[in-house]
A and B are shown apart, each in its own frame.
Chain A
Amino acid sequence: MTKQTLPAWSEPFADPRRQLKRGLRLRGVTRQWAWGDATGAGVRVGIIDSGLENAHPALRGRVVENVTVEMTDDGPKVVPDEPIDLFGHGTACGGIILSLAPEAELVSIRVLGADLRGKGTAFAAGLEWAIDRGLQVCNLSLSSKSESLYPVFHDLADRAYFQSTAVISAANNVPAPSYPSLFSSVFSVAAHGEPDPWRVYYNPSPPVEFGAWGVDVPIAWKDGGSTVATGNSFAAPHIAGLVARIVSKHPGLSPFELKAILASVADNPGRRHPWRHRPAPGR
């Protein structure tokens, strides 16, 4: 298997020394400046996924709301939800976010359920609700391949961008069209394999702009359980957690500014790291 035939967006992060030589270093924009001792306090993070198991120890009682999308004859409707997680994946993402931003508040927007038909529409409705609610950060592990939903997600991504909701989206593993993960206004994230939740790469060759830990990540799982997981969908919440920290220290930053800050503090090789970061609180 040669590198040329590898399809995934993770490839630049598999060999950062060779592939990520270029970075962006903004004077004074260090990790200390970017998030320092911030905890994510005051930031609400929407998790658009399989639900959140509020009582899971990894969620530390930080879930403030659970909603789900019901498909009705009049279209999708967002209604209150039980504190449940169908698969465990949403809880896994929530746990990762809180490991980096322990005082962030989580909002569960469950868009996976028994009715699979129209799931792209449900997903769009969930994202719209999160934007209308003014959540500062949204974590998406899903994306839609439906051409018909392209304009819907494009509009939502623009609305999020213009009102400074940071949409963090896991890149799909195959370079096929998928929305909104490949839109320029979202934070598109793929996995790297270095076991460090604070290690971030900036890829100056979009569509996937950021790499975070997504291989053999210890995660929370269904029914109070835990496991070890690999996938881009476990990389995205690491970026969501860091963004929550930055936003809690610098409220009101736009997605454009947040991306520039992440690029500036990224671990791209060939640069000195005067801002050597400290271990995460509680880890």
Chain B
Amino acid sequence: MAQPPTDAALAALVAAARRSAIARRLQGDVETRLLQSIVDATARLFDAEASSIALFETDPDRLEFRVAAGEKGAGAIGLTVPPTQGIAGYVYSTGQALALSDVGNDPRFNRDAAEQTGYIPRSIAAAPLFDEHGTLGVLQVLDKRGSPTFSLADMELLAVFASQATVAIAAARVQRDTARLLRSVLGSIGPELSADEVEQLVGAATADLDPDDDTPFWTLVDRIARLRALGDGETTLVADLLEVLAEHAGRTRRSGRG
């Protein structure tokens, strides 16, 4: 039987969570920005009314539209649909890309979702986002302006964009999932812990990591984040300045003690 997590293990987890939170703060919401750029490019290249990406989330199982582009796309953001329904659901469930046209003529087509977005498309193409672990979500493009339907070349191009989106998600997920990772680690090293106890420990580990904190620490992290735009020479200068500051701080502490 595994022992409950020790203070040392908890301290290590806190450190890991802190580093991850700092990395997330430094880089901003990479996933959303990358996905947004992919749907922007998809909508533009297809000359489509809208493009969107829905990602699979659990508790409860759902496909959540994370980003959208195009004049008609905005209403989709934040919308969730069950993965057992609709075209996005089918493409997610089977991993098979497909396109439908004339969908607007079918009064049953995704009526709920369409009513929520205020937009009923005439045609829709959807491709799965998948990596070696499975399907993560769905990339959709709606209503290509120049044509009532989608061609094979369109489907193939959509698959290329889908694979780009998958890479973007994989790169960003590690950061986003810190709390989930902590829960999973705590759950496996202390199987006798109840869900509430795990939640309490995760809460304790991440309590002082609220990125909205207006503390001097986060102010510093934000300022460092802004330095990304600097060239090599300027970066070296800033690094030298920080080194001088660190030495100064060390001397102040030593002289303070002595």
B-binding residues in A (CB < 8 A): 1, 5-8, 10-11, 14, 50, 86-87, 89, 112-114, 116, 119, 141-143, 145-147, 170, 172-174, 176, 178, 191-193, 214-216, 221-223, 225-234
- B84 A178 Cβ-Cβ under 8 A: no
Smallest CB gap from A89: residue in B: B90
- B152 A116 Cβ-Cβ under 8 A: no
* A6 to B154 CA separation, bound complex (whole angstroms): 10
- A227 B106 Cβ-Cβ under 8 A: yes
Q: Report if B32 contacts A (CB, 8 A).
A: no
Do A227 and B108 contact each other (CB < 8 Å), given the known contacts A8-B156, A89-B90, A174-B159?
no
Do A225 and B106 contact each other (CB < 8 Å), given the known contacts A87-B89, A116-B83?
yes
Q: Known pairs A112-B90, A216-B101, A230-B151. 17 more at Cβ < 8 A?
A: A7-B163, A86-B84, A87-B87, A87-B90, A112-B84, A116-B61, A142-B95, A143-B96, A145-B134, A173-B127, A174-B159, A192-B152, A228-B102, A228-B149, A229-B101, A230-B152, A232-B97
* A234 to B98 CA separation, bound complex (whole angstroms): 9
B48 → chain A closest CB, angstroms: 15
* A228 to B85 CA separation, bound complex (whole angstroms): 18
A273 → chain B closest CB, angstroms: 24
Smallest CB gap from A225: residue in B: B106
Q: Report if B157 contacts A (CB, 8 A).
A: yes
- B156 A10 Cβ-Cβ under 8 A: yes
* A260 to B84 CA separation, bound complex (whole angstroms): 38
Q: What residues of chain A lie closer than 8 Å to B109, measured between beta carbons?
A: 225, 227
Kindly identify, within residues 143 to 198 of chain B, every residue whose CB is under 8 Å from any CB belonging to chain A.
149-153, 155-157, 159-160, 162-163
Interface string of B88-124 (1 = CB under 8 A from A): 0110011111111111011011000000000000000
* A172 to B153 CA separation, bound complex (whole angstroms): 14
List 30 A–B pairs whose Cβ atoms lie within 8 Å, in order of A's numbering: A5-B160, A7-B159, A7-B163, A14-B153, A50-B90, A87-B86, A87-B89, A116-B93, A141-B94, A145-B132, A145-B135, A146-B134, A147-B132, A172-B96, A173-B97, A173-B156, A176-B130, A193-B152, A221-B106, A225-B109, A226-B106, A228-B101, A228-B102, A229-B101, A230-B101, A230-B152, A231-B99, A232-B96, A233-B96, A234-B98
A-binding residues in B (CB < 8 A): 61, 83-87, 89-90, 93-103, 105-106, 108-109, 125, 127, 130, 132, 134-135, 149-153, 155-157, 159-160, 162-163
Q: What residues of chain B lie closer than 8 Å to A191, measured between beta carbons?
A: 152
Give the interface SS of chain B, mostly helix, strand, loop or mixed: mixed
B103 → chain A closest CB, angstroms: 6
Q: What residues of chain A lie closer than 8 Å to B152, measured between beta carbons?
A: 8, 10, 14, 191-193, 214-215, 230
Task: Give the contacting residue for B130; candidates A116, A145, A215; CB below 8 A.
Answer: A145
B93 → chain A closest CB, angstroms: 5
Q: What residues of chain B lie closer than 8 Å to A214, measured between beta carbons?
A: 152
* A234 to B106 CA separation, bound complex (whole angstroms): 19
Smallest CB gap from B123: residue in A: A228
Smallest CB gap from B127: residue in A: A173
Q: What residues of chain B lie closer than 8 Å to A89, measured between beta carbons?
A: 90, 94, 98
- B156 A6 Cβ-Cβ under 8 A: yes
Q: What residues of chain B lie closer than 8 Å to A176, measured between beta carbons?
A: 130
Q: What residues of chain B lie closer than 8 Å to A222, measured between beta carbons?
A: 108
B145 → chain A closest CB, angstroms: 17
* A156 to B113 CA separation, bound complex (whole angstroms): 39
- B96 A141 Cβ-Cβ under 8 A: yes
